[in-house]
Amino acid sequence: MTVFEELRNGRSYDIRNEQYQKEVHGEINRCRHLCWEINSTDPNDVQRIMQLENDLFGGLKPGTFFTPPFQIDCANCVHLGENVFANHGLTMMSVGTITIDDGVMMGPEVGFFTVNHEPDNICVIMTKEIRIKKNAWIGARVNILPGVTIGENAIVGTGSVVTKDIPDNYIAVGNPARVIKKIDRQGEEQ
């Protein structure tokens, strides 16, 4: 089993562990270089950016695009659907796995954080997967913490810090984010 698989299955890891260093830091270095290339590419050279993003993620589904600049540490742990869009400034600390379904839209400077450290030993990390379901809309400067699921068609308001799951068809805002309204299927608030 790889370190990535063990982390996804709930194992904590000391970041000084030799196998962790080899596997995780190998992926971090690969992604850091590709993110640098993407972020250094002329923004009008969309074809080149798309080619590099395809290399970063090991293939992209139709309509999916991340606007540079962005930083992703472990793209091998990011699973993207079709028509996923991220505006500039995205940060993904993804060693714990991030799954984003079809049609998700993210505003500028959104952050995903699947990793935390043991309070008694900050060299030990633990991870929990983040999942964003179909057609969710994540507002600007939203931060999503480990283990959170954002429901289908949910909206998370600008500047929110999401510490708990948001159900399908609800709007959540604040720090910490809290559910404030239900949305009907046509997108009208109830």
Residue with the two structure tokens 């400077």 = 109
Catalytically active residues are 117
